[in-house]
Structure 1
Amino acid sequence: MSTMDKGTGATMRQTAKARRRQAILDHAKRLFAASGFRAVSIEEIGAGAGISGPAVYRHFGSKEDILAELLVGISEYLHAGGAEIAGIGGGSEGAGGSEDAGASVGVGESAGVGAEAREGDPAGVLRRLVDFHLAFALGEPELIRIQDRDLSALPAEARSSLRRLQRQYVSLWVAALRRHAPGLSEEAATVTIHAVFGMVNSTPYVVRRIDTAVVAERLRTAALATLGVADVVAYRK
């Protein structure tokens, strides 16, 4: 076998392993959301990914490690993507980039550096943050449900990392809001941001039988109104 053949074979094995790992994550996410973390067995997760239960341990050390990758991964994605929009750089430590973290849990690409932040448009930054978070909430209601119900099942270190990332994500939103409304106190801005998150995160799961476009439009309008930002799209209609 030539060196090229060996290299191709190794690449194919790596690709197959990555696909299997992603299949495990995807199926575990559906099962955890539907039944709860504690009610799901490794055997069920493996069956959904087309492998035996013990074979799951070739990819993850434990069921808790799967949960950690899902929940910490999405927090890494949100923080890194939000930081890019806000123009503060840095991303998440150890996240491997927002695009990689997002891909592992099923969400889209990196948010991209915000022109609005570079050009000093705080309202524009808030609009992009709303659109970014809304895309997550509409695309990943299962992850939101898992976090709400199964956060306590995370190992302590992973739970600490998740909380740190969430605090940083809230902080960048608070900073963006206070740039738009300089007279707003940090406490008032924090309450406002949590109100937006509560509304955006909970609604898609509750009203999942309503057309997604309707939910997205109403949530965007309501979130921007809560932040005191004009909805420029509405004015164009």
Structure 2
Amino acid sequence: MASEKPTRRTRPADRKAQLVEHAAALFADRGYTQVSLADIARAAGVTAPSVYRHFDDKRSLLAAAVLAGVDDLEACTDRALRDDGPPTADLISTVCALGVRRPQSTSLWRWASQHLTDEQNREVVLRTRGILHRWAGALAEGTDLSEREAVTLAWAVLSVAGSLSVHNTRIPTTRALGEIDTLVRRVIALRPASAPPLPTMPPAGVGEPTRRDEILDAAAELFADRGYADVGVDDIGAAVGITGPSVYKHFSSKLAILAGIGHRSAARLEAGVMAAYTSTADPAKLLALLVDSYVNVITSTQDLSASFNNSHALAGQPTASDLVDIQRRYVARWMDLLMQADPGISRERAAVTVHAALSIVNDAIRMRRGVHRPEFGAQMAYLMKGVLAV
């Protein structure tokens, strides 16, 4: 009897797509710097060398993952804007479904730019901008929306649809779809041009800035621009006009600098909380004041943006646990106020709503989209309050 030939394992034809899928999920869950090629290979059930058959390095994998998300957005837009249905209704349902079922497609674009090349970023930006302008056209159809307003709403819709990926609240898919659908509909009912002026806050800090403040300012700018991982202590020192070792006279490590930025932004937010509570006891009005405070802080300094966008570096660090607790308590305060203003809302729904509202301004700041326009802060606060229904 002839011996049987051993079965030969064949490599799936879609192995490259599988690697992209696993990479996208890991990047969305942990952040780019916290994921290695070995992690991606392990998740895909292959060896690390086999990854290099398809990709030169981790950055090329990230670029492929981001562009796969753009492909998803384009496909969902094509489906939604067919001629055989109401464009806005179809757009809402398909975008919400994508945000809930494939969150990486609506979230990787948020922070990937600092890790991609200029050429890769140009492709992502041009294609995404084209998609959002198609959304804007659908949203404006049959309404009094100006083109600029419609584009602003389209970006806000994308932020809300992808907001489930920025927090750990877990709810069943069907309920998640319903919640995101409700919030997106709140967004498209708004008219950004009618946003009232944003109340100004007194400037943060008093007296002459110290060397420590100068280091925090420089680091915040660098972290916001290049990302925490790509900035060294020498870079921070050079931006201040001192040597890298001199920075250590004020901070024990780069991580301590990031934590210092986080504590400083938390103090500014807390000052806004204290001011709000001295002016009213009404939960809805208090929440609206906290929105104004948050927008003022995030638009006036790089601290909050740098701290938020690089929070993954603080994850699991014992020295940063108090800062993480402060940040969680701040968001929890928003949720508590929302539940007091609307006693019928559950804590899960409050969490989804609050994070959706915060995502609108956080994403706009991260992408530097319209941040220099004089009406930017007012429109961000208006959109956030619209989502929160306060």
TM-score interval w.r.t. the shorter chain? 0.5 to 0.7
Computing the radius of gyration from Cα coordinates, the structure with the larger value is: 2
1:140 is the counterpart of 2:301:
yes
Name the CA distance, whole Å, in 1 between partners of 2:365 and 2:244.
Answer: 32
Name 2:222's counterpart in structure 1: 31
CA deviation after TM superposition for structure 1 residue 128, in Å: 0.5
Whichever structure has more helix as a proportion of its residues is: 1
Name 1:215's counterpart in structure 2: 376
Name the CA distance, whole Å, in 2 between partners of 1:188 and 1:154.
Answer: 25
Name the CA distance, whole Å, in 2 between partners of 1:146 and 1:173.
Answer: 19
Name the CA distance, whole Å, in 2 between partners of 1:210 and 1:156.
Answer: 32
Name the CA distance, whole Å, in 1 between partners of 2:285 and 2:329.
Answer: 20
User: Equivalent of 2:278, from 78, 95, 114?
Assistant: 114
Give 5+ residue unaligned stretches, structure 2. 1-206
Residues 17-166 of structure 1 aligned to structure 2 (within 5 Å): 19-78=210-269, 80-81=270-271, 83-84=273-274, 111=275, 113-117=277-281, 121-141=282-302, 143-149=304-310, 151-152=312-313, 156-166=317-327
Q: Which amino acid aligns with 2:278?
A: G
CA deviation after TM superposition for structure 1 residue 133, in Å: 0.8
Name the CA distance, whole Å, in 2 between partners of 1:39 and 1:186.
Answer: 38
How many residue pairs match? The answer is 184
Name 2:385's counterpart in structure 1: 224
Name the CA distance, whole Å, in 2 between partners of 1:155 and 1:72.
Answer: 17
Q: Is the 8 A contact 2:339 2:345 kept in 1?
A: yes
Identical aligned pairs, as a percentage? 33
Structure 2 length normalisation: TM-score? Answer: 0.43
Write out the 4+ residue segments of structure 1 that deviate beyond 6 Å after TM superposition: none
Q: Which amino acid aligns with 2:271?
A: G
Secondary structure class of the residue paired with 2:280: helix
CA deviation after TM superposition for structure 1 residue 164, in Å: 0.9
What's the C-alpha RMSD, in Å, of the aligned pairs?
2.5
Q: Which amino acid aligns with 1:130?
A: V
CA deviation after TM superposition for structure 1 residue 130, in Å: 0.9
Q: Deviations over 1:95-115 (max 9, x none)?
A: xxxxxxxxxxxxxxxx46432
Structure 1 length normalisation: TM-score? Answer: 0.68
Give 5+ residue unaligned stretches, structure 1. 1-14, 85-110, 230-237
Q: Is the 8 A contact 1:141 1:201 kept in 2?
A: no
CA deviation after TM superposition for structure 1 residue 126, in Å: 1.7
Name the CA distance, whole Å, in 1 between partners of 2:371 and 2:261.
Answer: 26
Name the CA distance, whole Å, in 2 between partners of 1:192 and 1:149.
Answer: 23
1:189 is the counterpart of 2:350:
yes
